[in-house]
Amino acid sequence: MISPATAEQSRTVPTRLPALRNSYAQLPERFFAATDPRPVSSPTPIRFNRPLAEELGLDADQLTGPNGVEMFAGNRFPEGMQPVALAYAGHQFGNFVPQLGDGRALLLGEVVDINGIRRDIQLKGSGPTRFSRNGDGRAALGPVLREYVVSEAMAALGIPTTRSLAAVLTGDPVYREVRLPGAVLTRVAASHIRIGTFQYFAARHDIDGLRILANYAIERHFPHLAGQAKPYRALLEAAVAAQADLVARWMLVGFIHGVMNTDNMLISGETIDYGPCAFMDAYDPGAVFSSIDRAGRYAYANQPRVATWNLARLAETLLPLMSTDENEAVAEAEEVLRSFQSSYEAVLQRGFRRKLGLLTEAEGDLQLAADFLDVLARGEADFTLGFRRLGDDLDADDAQGTARQLFQDPGAFDAWSARWRERIASEAADTATRRAAMHAVNPKFIPRNHRIEAMIQAALGGDFQPFEEMLAVVTRPFDEQPGMERYAKPPRPDERVLQTFCGT
């Protein structure tokens, strides 16, 4: 164990722990605050993501040893490592805050994974930084487990996301409304460059900083843009396309981010920040779970609109780089922003066709999908199981089918199903092939809110078996998994979780 009073040099260890490059720490000092993690008293491993470690090209055996656990707790780190807290600003529920920054996270550095992609490794809950705003810089166990499970479930669903490499208990309490066990999450991301990062420099009229950041972002994420005549317009185009794709994928699985502030939107198009997030049970386009979203700004159906608004804020920061003629820059930015809707709709429409088992395109398909969502909403039927059971019932008539049982008003479903069956009958595909295609995109298992809460409560009592079991189930979302059917079931009325919380 290493106490906070230990000499700094004793916290670096010349072991086979990964030598992490930190290109962000090579940027000007105003981009970050160099900060060491605050040591904890008694780090204990909760979970180590061995498959992800191997994907990152890391020595998994070494990282599961004592030095690895100490690194994931922030107590020890390899020689030469340069931990930094990143500076950024952001619109939070529409209100601009000119300085936010990593208040409880530290970027340790980067690795190049086995696919040649550079990825950040960051500690979350590692202690206070210059940006902590009087906070303790720590994380409680519950939010760490929530992010671990949901981020890994999102990855298994094929949705771009930050990942969870490790979680450790610190042995130290944190104090929120009550005393809670502390934990640290090790998060992996393509980078941690946010829309709010650009806003930080724009708010300071730091055009040089904006240009350095934009060039770094292009080099990091979109190197093919570097030689273009208008690289900063191209950067905006790439960010718009990435966000359109991401939000459409959220909508296709009923995911509600809950806190789409500009500081929580990565330009890489990965999902980040799993605080008050939730997956819908019964389909409701106005669904809101976040306890701090009292006006429903980030409701399920509002997510595409909010993403466009956020991207407009990014565009504003890039105007000085796009052209010296402000009118010309604004016209170009508006043109790029208009592309969001068509990009979003293309992904969404293709996705809903696949979810309905439609292997070809035909006039009326999109209306068929929209009508099914309307039937789901009026019947208060489960979103996830509604689509999954369509595939299950392909060779059964509706009277014997399991999908019909989800609806309070099965008559409306019967009328819709007759149209759907007529449509799929127009395609030359056997039932087994169509079912396999539908089951490959319609999950049976999602991290349901009531299961997450039960898992957290068990862990707070020292029982991590529900966490391990739930993680195993939701990272195989499309498989049948006999014996685990309880994880697929919607909550009973007394099990419903109506609010989710940020956890900061």
Residues pairing with 182 in the sheet: 140
Q: Mean pLDDT over all residues of the chain?
A: 93
Please report which confidence band the pLDDT of residue 40 belongs to, taking 50, 70 and 90 as the band edges: very high
Give which of 502, 486, 282 is closest to 376, Cα–Cα. 282
Task: Please report the pLDDT score of residue 9 as a whole number.
Answer: 42
Q: Which residue has the higher pLDDT, 3 or 361?
A: 361
Region 357-376 average pLDDT: 96
pLDDT at 71 over 70: yes
DSSP string, 236-277: HHHHHHHHHHHHHHHHHHTEE-S---GGG-BTT--B---SS-
Task: Please report the pLDDT score of residue 20 as a whole number.
Answer: 84
Please report which confidence band the pLDDT of residue 480 belongs to, taking 50, 70 and 90 as the band edges: very high
Q: Which residue has the higher pLDDT, 498 or 289?
A: 289
Element holding 422 (H helix, E strand) = helix 410-425
- Has 263 been annotated as catalytic? yes
Could you tell me the residue ranges of all domains in the chain? Answer: 8-192, 206-351, 356-499
Region 241-254 average pLDDT: 98
Catalytic residue (choose from 120, 263, 382, 392): 263
pLDDT at 330 over 70: yes
Task: Please report the pLDDT score of residue 504 as a whole number.
Answer: 57
pLDDT at 6 over 90: no
Task: Please report the pLDDT score of residue 81 as a whole number.
Answer: 86
pLDDT at 11 over 70: no
How much of the chain, in percent, has pLDDT values that exceed 90?
Answer: 86
- Tokens 């030359």: give the residue: 428
- Which pLDDT tens digit goes with each residue over 131-161? 998 899 999 999 999 999 999 999 999 999 9
How much of the chain, in percent, has pLDDT values that exceed 70?
Answer: 96
In this structure, of 40-49, 277-286, 288-297, the range with the lowest mean pLDDT score is 288-297
Q: What is the pTM of this model?
A: 0.95
In this structure, of 111-125, 244-258, 400-414, the range with the lowest mean pLDDT score is 400-414
Task: Please report the pLDDT score of residue 4 as a whole number.
Answer: 36
Q: Give per-residue burial for 403-414: e unless 16+ CB within 10 Å, then b.
A: bbebbeebebbe
CA distance 170 to 168: 6
Cβ contact 414:398 at 8 Å: yes
Please report which confidence band the pLDDT of residue 47 belongs to, taking 50, 70 and 90 as the band edges: very high
CA distance 104 to 133: 10
Task: Please report the pLDDT score of residue 335 as a whole number.
Answer: 98
